[in-house]
Amino acid sequence: MLEIVNLDKSYDKLKVLTNINLRLEENKIYGLLGRNGAGKSTLLNIISNQIKADSGQLKLFGEDIYENSKAVENICLVREKGVPVDDDRIKKIFKIASILYKNWDEEYKDYLVKEFKIDVKKKYNKLSRGNVTLVGLIIGLASRASLTIFDEPSLGLDAAIRYKFYDILLEDIQENPRAVIISTHLIDEVANLFEEIIILQNEKVFIKDEVSNLLEKAYFLNGREENILPFINKKNIIHKEQFGSSVIIGLFDDLTSDKKKTLKDNNVEISSIPLQKLFVYLTDNQETEEVF
Amino acid sequence: MDSFKRAIKFQNMDLKTAIGWFWGIIIPIDLVSFLLIKYPTFVFGGINFGMHINDSNIDATAIAAANIIPILIYFISYTYSMYYEYFPVSLGFSMTRKDFYKTTILENIKVAFIFSIIQSILMKIDLYAIKSLGKSPIVDFKIINTETDNILFLIISLFIVIFSINSMINLLAVINYKLGFKFWIIVGIISSFSAIFIGSSVIFGSIYNLISWIITTKVGISQFVKLIVMAGIMYMLAYIFFKDMVIKNKIV
pLDDT surpassing 70 at residue A152 = yes
CATH entry 3.40.50.261 includes domain A2-211: no
Q: How far is CA A45 from CA A14, A197, A266, B68, B246, in A?
A: 17, 18, 51, 42, 10
Amino acid sitting at position A21: N
What does the H/E/C string look like for B37-98?
Answer: HHCCEEEECCEEEECCCCCCCCCEECCHHHHHHHHHHHHHHHHHHHHHHHHHHHHHCCCCHH
Most A CBs within 10 Å: which of B2, B91, B93, B97, as the mutation test of the A interface? B93
Report yes or no on B172 lying in a domain: yes
Q: What is the pLDDT of residues B191-238, one digit of tens each?
A: 888 878 777 677 778 888 888 999 889 989 999 999 999 999 999 999
Nearest residue, CB atoms, A96 vs list B1, B89, B243: B89
Query: In A, which residues are within 8 Å of B93 by CB distance?
Result: 96-97, 100-101
- A204 bridge partner residues: A201
Q: What is the mean pLDDT of residues A269-290?
A: 76
Please name the fold of domain A217-284: Alpha-Beta Plaits (3.30.70)
| Percentage of chain B lying above the pLDDT 70 cut | 91
Cross-chain Cβ contact B85/A85 below 8 Å: yes
Q: Using one digit for the tens of pLDDT, what is the confidence trace for B80-117?
A: 999 998 999 999 999 999 999 999 999 999 999 999 99
Task: Inform me whether the C-beta atom of residue B82 falls under 8 Å from chain A C-beta atoms.
Answer: no
Domain ranges of chain A: 2-211, 217-284
How many angstroms from the chain centroid is the CA of residue A188? 11
Residue B252 lies in a domain: no
CB pair distance less than 8 Å for B247 and A84: yes
Residues in Cβ contact with A213 at an 8 Å cutoff, skipping those fewer than 6 apart: none
User: Has residue B34 been placed in a domain?
Assistant: yes
pLDDT in tens, A93-137: 999 999 999 999 999 999 999 999 999 999 998 888 999 999 999
Query: At residue A185, does pLDDT exceed 80?
Result: yes
How do strand A204-210 and strand B136-137 relate by DSSP bridges?
A: unpaired
Domain annotation covers residue B248: no
pTM comes to 0.86
**pLDDT tens digit sequence for A244-272:** 778 888 888 887 888 778 878 888 888 88
Q: Which residue has the higher pLDDT, B35 or A227?
A: B35
Yes or no: say if A141 and A169 are a contact pair by the CB < 8 Å rule: yes
- Residue A67 pLDDT class (50, 70, 90 cuts): very high
Strand stretches in chain B, DSSP E: 41-44, 47-50, 60-61, 136-137
- The answer to whether residue B197 neighbours chain A at the CB level (below 8 Å) is no
pLDDT of residue B64: 86
Q: Is residue B103 part of a domain?
A: yes
Residue A292 has pLDDT above 60, yes or no: no
The minimum CA-CA distance between A267 and chain B, rounded to whole Å, is 56
- ipTM of this complex prediction, to 2 decimal places: 0.84
Domain count, chain B: 1
Tell me whether residue B218 is in a domain.
Answer: yes
pLDDT at B194: 81
Provide the domain limits for residue B131.
Answer: 3-242
Instruction: State residue A81's pLDDT score.
Output: 84
